[in-house]
Amino acid sequence: MQRFLLIFLAAVFLTAPRGAASAQDISSSKLLYYGEKNYSQKQYTMAIKTLEMCVSLYESMAMKEQKKPPGGVEDGMWVSPLNDVGSAHYLLMKIYLEKGKKDKAMYHYREIEEKFNKAQYWDEDREQCYNVLELARRLKREYSLDTGTEMNMKGEER
């Protein structure tokens, strides 16, 4: 099943024109679901690929949502590219911290802080929504992350 999913995701990603992903191909919520599932099973390589695909395909849509004014009580409580991309960055941050790659984790923290700070993460176990930036800040404190290293856009040191 895992191999099939990776082949399917690669086919969708490689055959679609850049930025032409649609809900008919694979939704941001499906990519997040599979990325989170792989993360929970400690299948980090597969989780990273799936979550990075979510970010790559849906980042522009998520950024448009980020710029919209709040929509009331229900704001952020539904499935949306903003929530999915923000959650993908949060999960990537967690993975890289668990792998000891603090610089890459800080790259994803900065993406959340600068671009996706309105995103919400649905915690299935607690059946509750949390602001992704607040969760990322907790992780940053927990791991005593330092912001002194300059990174390029791919999370690599300059």
- Least confident stretch, 91-100, 107-116, 117-126: 117-126
User: For the segment 1-40, what is each residue's pLDDT rounded down to a tens digit?
Assistant: 666 555 655 555 554 445 444 544 799 999 999 999 999 9
Closest C-alpha to 92, from 78, 70, 107, 80: 107
Distance CA 112, CA 146 (A): 16
Give yes or no for a contact between 85 and 59, defined as CB atoms under 8 angstroms apart: yes
Backbone φ, ψ for residue 21 (5° rounding): -65, 145
> What pLDDT, on the 0 to 100 scale, is given for residue 142?
93
pLDDT band for 150, please (50, 70, 90 cuts).
very low
**What gap in Å lies between CA 21 and CA 56, rounded to an integer?**
10
In one-letter notation, the amino acid at residue 139 is L
For range 44-57, the mean pLDDT = 97
Q: Which domains does the chain have, with CATH numbers?
A: 27-68+77-142 (1.25.40)
Could you read off the pLDDT of 91-109 as tens digits, one per residue? Answer: 999 999 999 999 999 999 9
pLDDT in tens, 57-79: 999 999 999 998 765 445 444 66
- Helix (H) / strand (E) element for 8: namely helix 2-15
More confident residue, 48 or 1: 48
Q: Which residue has the higher pLDDT, 138 or 71?
A: 138
pTM of the model: 0.76
Distance CA 93, CA 11 (A): 26
Looking at the predicted structure, is the pLDDT value of residue 147 above 70? Answer: no
Over residues 48-55, the mean pLDDT reads 97
